Amino acid sequence: MQTSVTPDAISTVLSNPSFDSSSERPEIVVQVVDLKPIGNRYTFSANDGKTRVKAMFTPTLTPEIISGKIQNLGLIRLIDFTVNDISSKSTKYFLVNKCEAVGSVLDSDINLESKSHAEASDPKKQKLEHSPVSPVNDVKTDVCTGITLKPKQEFVAKSASQIMSEQRGNAAPAARMAMTRRVHPLVSLNPYQGNWTIKVRVTNKGVMRNYKNARGEGCVFNVELTDEEGTQIQATMFNDAARKFYDRFQLGKVYYISRGSLKLANKQFKTVQNDYEMTLNENSEVEEASSEEMFIPETKFNFVPIEELGLYVNQKELIDLIGVVQSVSPTMSIRRRTDNEMIPKRDITLADESKKTVVVSLWNDLATGIGQELLDMADKSPVVAIKSLKVGDFQGVSLSTISRSNVVINPESPEAKKLKSWFDSEGKEISMSSIGSGMSPSSKNGSRSMYTDRVLLSHITSNPSLGEEKPVFFSTRAYISFIKPDQTMWYQACKTCNKKVTEALDSGYWCEGCQKKYEECSLRYIMAVKVTDSSGETWISSFNDEAEKILGCSADDLNKLRSEGGEVNEYQTKLKEATWSSHVFRVSVSQNEYNGEKRQRVTVKGVAPLDFAAETRLLLQDISNKNKASQ
């Protein structure tokens, strides 16, 4: 364990411009002082006993700080770092990409100034034995610091085109070329840096889009770039730059890029997990690394627990998810509205430690490829990690893959091992509920509960134009006043995919969705009920899950009561028991056309029993709002 810092290390680094590009750095040990968080990063002052410089750890080192490996007043060895300028101030700072803790936490800051003055008063300690100077390399070594200096060597930041020019003109092996190149990892970039060159793969390419605003017309497109460590960033190009680089950027190829600029990412439009976004102009340099050894970027995930998905509903931000596969549906064909093309779709249900489940829709090749793999191994409950999912409001919360989505089955990650261990030990025995239960489609403020957007039934029935353009959602408290006993209350459904089945010619049931014949089927509700409140009444449609909550039994059980004889009609009794009970409903209002006439359709999306405490708080809030309005 080391107990001291490298003397004069910081001043030597700051005074030697060739130090940052040196392939063989001496050991530098500094003390961490004034460690504090800034966003998802940590800043500190690097102390060598005499000099201090501001420094920042990259986000990849945050877990080591949280775990306590790196602590305030502790010693660290700098393994990989860059020296950057703060443009607004004539100062420099260290950006630490990689380091290791080498000593325990000290009681106070290290100060070698007093020791230096004491040595200056002793003539014997002033004598320094200089090592012989090499006439070839002109290298000097400072015995006090042990740091090798190259005084006449100057470091010049190389652009992408300069690197490529040197590469073409030099027949040296790739390994030797890599030693002379200073390629920055994406995680080290920030808006205050000067010259940099990155080596990245294009992992997604957008289409060229035209725009028109108050400043005029133009065109824009963007690409998503990923480096070898799996860090991503979005690069955007406008007008001349867009036309210049649109054909040059090819999906899947690797490029050297330089002379770009960075700024804080706009959360409304960003599609990757990065605090910054890159802008390339017509003077930026982009060169394909065709003769270099290619790399496959590591996929980095930022998982969101299933129970927190409601916050992302209908937002532009994409999310990553990890879960245990509960079920996999057969492939379905969906007709796309834009061009009437039939595209494959497959639904998988995932669960995690929050004891919630969610349905993920796989589209196109993911449905037919990886989706089929999951269907074949569904009985083994594999763990699936999916990157870049869109969160929608179908059935409360639903997830869909997009073109850039990436699915990994049984990933080798700590999160996957922890989740699999939990499921094998206790998760498979636990009854789980859907994240969409009791949750409605949402707006920009996140998921809605049963106690938001509360309206009376008259608000819905007196506005026949509600839901003309798209469905609208409300919550309402009402009594079930009537359930028509002779209606078609259920349909025969496939036990695998819940789709309607037909009776086979010989025996059993045929499922068009699964393209299979089954010996048995189940019944699922499609029930209409009349609801009433103080302002009026209306009919609402209720499907299986919501109808079971209203009636308190499954469709199969109700069918048995219906078929039983006896003096007392148990079927009628069961329906009457459900009437004149108060519920809180979450409903969608849409317009359907029937025989050329538009009709309002109200569908139950969620149903819950009255929570009297919550209802009281809601009433008190209404009273308070009315009092404020009257004042």
Q: What is the pLDDT of residues 349-363, one digit of tens each?
A: 999 998 889 999 999
Contacts 24+ apart (CB under 8 A), 77-82: 77/2, 77/27, 77/28, 77/29, 77/102, 78/28, 78/29, 78/30, 78/46, 81/55, 82/20, 82/184, 82/188, 82/193
Q: What are phi and psi of 90, to 5 degrees?
A: -85, 55
> Is the predicted pLDDT of residue 29 greater than 80, yes or no?
yes
What pLDDT is attached to residue 392? 84
- Per-residue pLDDT, averaged over 385-412, amounts to 85
Two structure tokens written together for 290: 């065709």
Mean pLDDT, range 276-287, rounded to an integer: 92
pLDDT at 517 over 80: yes
Sign of CA dihedral 19, 20, 25, 29: positive
- Helix, strand, or coil (residue 335): strand
Q: How far apart are CA 223 and CA 245, in angstroms?
A: 10
According to the model, what pLDDT value does residue 162 have? Answer: 55
Asked if residue 467 has pLDDT above 70, the reply is yes
CA 208 to CA 241: how far, in whole Å? 12
Beta bridge partners of 602: 589
Side chain identity, residue 254: V
Number of neighbours of residue 621 by Cβ within 10 angstroms: 11
Strand partners, 210: 219
Q: Is the pLDDT confidence value at 300 over 60?
A: yes
For the chain, give every residue range classified as CATH 2.40.50.140: 9-167, 173-293, 306-437, 457-610
Distance of CA 432 to the CA centre of its chain: 23
Higher-pLDDT residue of 232 and 3 is: 232
Cβ neighbours around 175 below 10 Å, total: 8
Give the start-end residues of each E strand in 305-462.
319-328, 332-335, 342-351, 356-363, 383-392, 398-409, 433-434, 440-443, 446-448
Q: Which residues contact 285 (CB under 8 A, 6 or more apart)?
A: 159, 160, 161, 256, 257, 258, 259
Which band of pLDDT confidence, cut at 50, 70 and 90, is reported for residue 137? Answer: very low
pLDDT at 463 over 50: yes
Percent pLDDT > 90 in the chain is: 27
Could you give the CA distance from residue 593 to residue 345 in angstroms, rounded to a whole number? 27
Buried b or exposed e, range 568-605, using 16+ CB within 10 angstroms: eeebeebbeebeeeebbbbbbbbbeeeeeeeebbbbbb
The residue written with tokens 């460690």 in the block is 35
In this predicted structure, what is the pLDDT of residue 190? 86
Q: For helices 555-563 and 544-551, give the axis angle rounded to 10 degrees.
A: 60
pLDDT at 315 over 90: no
Q: Which CATH class name applies to 306-437?
A: mainly beta
| Listed range (57-71, 146-160, 488-502) with the worst mean pLDDT | 146-160
What is the pLDDT of the chain when averaged over all its residues? 80
CB atoms within 10 A of CB 97: 19
Q: Is residue 154 pLDDT above 70, yes or no?
A: no
- Between helix 544-551 and helix 570-578 the angle, nearest 10°, is 100
Q: List, for residues 358-384, the tens digit of each pLDDT value.
A: 999 999 888 988 899 999 898 899 999
Phi, psi of 23 (to 5 degrees): -80, -20
Q: Which residues pair with 400 in a beta bridge?
A: 361, 390
Residue 328: per-residue pLDDT: 92
pLDDT at position 531: 96
Contact 301, 275 (CB under 8 A): no
CATH number for 9-167: choose from 1.20.1560.10, 2.40.50.140, 3.40.640.10, 3.40.50.720.
Answer: 2.40.50.140
3-state secondary structure of 311: helix
Residue of 173 and 385 predicted with greater confidence: 385
Q: State the average pLDDT over residues 311-322.
A: 81
Q: How far, in Å, CA of 134 to CA of 259, rounded?
A: 38
The mean-pLDDT minimum among 156-165, 467-476, 618-627 falls in 156-165
Query: For residue 515, what pLDDT is reported?
Result: 83
CA–CA separation, 341 and 179 (whole Å): 52
- Of 139-143, 281-285, 521-525, 583-587, the range with the lowest mean pLDDT is 139-143
pLDDT band at 621 (very low <50, low <70, confident <90, very high): confident
| Contacts of 609 by beta carbon, 8 Å cutoff, 6+ apart | 583, 584
pLDDT band at 576 (very low <50, low <70, confident <90, very high): very high
The more confident residue out of 123 and 112 is: 112
- 613 vs 190: CA distance, rounded Å: 50
CATH class of the domain defined by 173-293: mainly beta
What is the per-residue pLDDT for 449? 54
Average pLDDT over residues 468-490: 89
290 — pLDDT class (breaks 50, 70, 90)? confident
Percent of the chain surpassing pLDDT 70: 80
Mean pLDDT value of segment 452-457: 82
Classify the C-alpha dihedral 185-190-192-197 as positive or negative: positive
CA dist., res. 507 & res. 510, Å (int): 9
Mean pLDDT of 513-523: 88
Binning pLDDT at 50, 70 and 90, where does residue 294 land? Answer: low
Other CB atoms within 10 Å distance of the CB of residue 560 = 13
- So what's the pLDDT on residue 26? 67
User: Please, which pLDDT band fits residue 240 given cuts at 50, 70 and 90?
Assistant: very high
Q: Are residues 96 and 111 in contact, defined by beta-carbon separation less than 8 angstroms? A: no
Question: Facing residues of 334 across strands?
Answer: 343
Predicted local distance difference test score (pLDDT) of residue 566: 65
- β-strand partners of 234: 224
- Residue 2 clears pLDDT 70, i.e. is over it: no
Distance of alpha carbon 187 from the chain centroid: 17
Q: How far apart are CA 40 and CA 58, in angstroms?
A: 9
Q: For residue 341, is pLDDT > 70?
A: yes
Give pLDDT tens digits for 39-89. Answer: 667 889 999 888 888 888 888 888 888 878 888 888 998 888 888 776 555
Q: Is 168 helix (H, G, I), strand (E, B) or coil?
A: helix
CATH architecture of the domain covering 457-610 = Beta Barrel (2.40)
Predicted pLDDT at 325? 93
Paired with 475 in beta bridges are 454, 586
Residue 138: predicted pLDDT: 46
Please tell me the predicted confidence (pLDDT) of residue 127: 40
- Average pLDDT of the segment spanning 177-185: 61
In a 3-state reduction of DSSP, which class is residue 306?
helix
- Please say if the pLDDT value at position 114 is more than 70: no
Is the pLDDT confidence value at 457 over 70? Answer: yes
Higher pLDDT, residue 509 or 85: 509
Measured between alpha carbons, how far is 295 from 307 in angstroms, rounded to an integer?
A: 36
Mean pLDDT of 443-453: 50
In terms of DSSP bridges, do strands 52-57 and 29-38 run parallel, antiparallel, or are they unpaired? unpaired
Res. 91: pLDDT tops 60:
yes
Cβ(474)–Cβ(460) below 8 Å: yes
Average pLDDT over residues 413-438: 85
Stronger pLDDT, 224 or 442, i.e. the higher one: 224
pLDDT score recorded for residue 131 = 39
- Residues pairing with 77 in the sheet: 29, 100
What's the average model confidence in pLDDT over 281-303?
Answer: 77
Reply yes or no on whether the pLDDT at 133 is more than 50: no
- For β-strands 490-493 and 597-609, DSSP reports them as unpaired
